[in-house]
């Protein structure tokens, strides 16, 4: 049922080769491929020259007839600007896989997401069986904080369910002379930021509905500097309240009050450090 196509691939070692990647899958018929999407192994190939594993990065169509979903999964870098671009992108993708829309099945809700993580976020909402199977594990399994030494970016918080594996990027604050200016504070910041992300993130949040609407209210009353999504904004505020408490409290009293109340909440998912190993 799945459709595969050959792609030309170039590895960072310089080797060029061709490999097959999946362009279309029907979740009910290809449970193995669905599992591979959840774990991050989907459309990954191994360089025949250096052995390094790499993602093909092609866009593909994920179909799920039970939940009536047709989801185009594009690369994060394909994100179009504005509504028009999105429409055009769907048209382009659709014409590529035209034949699969003539198999008699209803396409259901047609959606576009950018990146595997965005697909998982969507499936946790739209696929109740997946949510049932994963929610408990996502909340109980420890999260791992990966902070690379040196200048290799701020790192990730890794969440794992039964099958789901997701990496949430960590961020440093935007102000260059802000709370993460020196290396010691940078580490402290990233630890606090990942703790915040552990509490509230798009896959498995410990905030209930009441607290989420409370957080929305606080964000409206005291908007963050710059454009930030609710999760990034939460993690950043959590980090500021830990690393730069005095200034944070003075500048954002309502946010500080809200986070103080959350400090008493029980978060059963522990965050453990993970060392960056050799690449591959």
> Nearest approach, Cβ of 23 to Zn ion (angstroms)?
23
Closest CB to Zn ion among 49 and 66?
Answer: 49
Cα separation of 79 and 89, whole Å?
Answer: 9
Using CB under 5 A as the binding rule, whether residue 49 contacts Zn ion is answered as: yes
Closest CB to Zn ion among 1 and 50?
Answer: 50
Alpha carbon 251 to its chain centroid, in Å, reads 30
Q: Which stretch binds Zn ion (CB under 5 A): 3-11, 112-120, 197-205, 240-248?
A: 3-11
Using CB under 5 A as the binding rule, whether residue 105 contacts Zn ion is answered as: no
Q: Which of 43, 65, 52 is nearest to 10 (CA)?
A: 52
Instruction: Please say whether the beta carbons of 53 and 46 come within 8 A.
Output: yes
Backbone angles phi, psi at 125, to 5 degrees: -90, -40
When binding is defined by CB under 5 A, the residue of 1, 2, 15, 276 that contacts Zn ion is 15
Q: Which stretch binds Zn ion (CB under 5 A): 47-55, 123-131, 141-149, 254-262?
A: 47-55
Backbone angles phi, psi at 49, to 5 degrees: -90, -50
When binding is defined by CB under 5 A, the residue of 2, 13, 16, 105 that contacts Zn ion is 13
Q: Which of 122, 150, 144 is nearest to 270 (CA)?
A: 144
Using CB under 5 A as the binding rule, whether residue 9 contacts Zn ion is answered as: no
Q: Which stretch binds Zn ion (CB under 5 A): 12-20, 92-100, 143-151, 177-185?
A: 12-20
Using CB under 5 A as the binding rule, whether residue 265 contacts Zn ion is answered as: no
Residue 71, CB half-sphere, CA atoms under 13 Å: how many? 25
Cα separation of 119 and 130, whole Å?
Answer: 12
When binding is defined by CB under 5 A, the residue of 33, 45, 47, 143 that contacts Zn ion is 47
Residues that bind Zn ion (CB under 5 A): 11, 13, 15, 47, 49-50, 52
């Amino acid at each position: 049922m799945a459709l595969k196509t050959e792609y030309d691939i170039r590895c960072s070692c310089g080797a060029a080769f061709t490999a097959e990647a999946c362009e279309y899958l029907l979740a009910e018929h290809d449970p193995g491929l669905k599992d591979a999407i959840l774990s991050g192994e989907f459309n990954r190939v191994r360089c025949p020259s250096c052995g390094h594993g790499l993602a093909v990065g092609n866009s593909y169509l994920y179909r799920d007839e039970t939940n009536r979903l047709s989801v185009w999964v594009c690369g994060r870098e394909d994100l179009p600007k504005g509504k028009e671009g999105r429409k055009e992108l769907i048209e382009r993708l659709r014409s590529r896989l035209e034949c699969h829309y003539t198999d008699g099945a209803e396409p259901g809700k047609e959606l576009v997401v950018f990146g595997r993580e965005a697909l998982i976020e969507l499936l946790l909402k739209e696929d109740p069986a997946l949510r049932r199977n994963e929610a408990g594990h996502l909340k109980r399994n420890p999260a791992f904080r990966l902070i690379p030494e040196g200048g290799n970016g701020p790192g990730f918080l890794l969440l794992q369910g039964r099958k789901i594996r997701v990496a949430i990027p960590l961020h440093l604050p935007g102000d260059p002379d802000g709370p993460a200016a020196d290396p010691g504070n940078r580490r402290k910041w990233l630890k606090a930021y990942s703790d915040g992300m552990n509490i509230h993130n798009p896959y498995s949040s410990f905030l209930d509905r009441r607290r989420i609407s409370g957080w929305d209210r606080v964000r409206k009353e005291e908007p963050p500097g710059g454009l930030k999504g609710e999760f990034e904004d939460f993690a950043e505020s959590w980090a500021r309240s830990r690393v730069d408490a005095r200034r944070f409290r003075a500048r954002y009293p309502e946010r500080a009050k809200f986070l103080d109340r959350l400090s008493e909440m029980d978060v059963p998912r522990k965050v453990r450090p993970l060392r960056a190993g050799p690449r591959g």
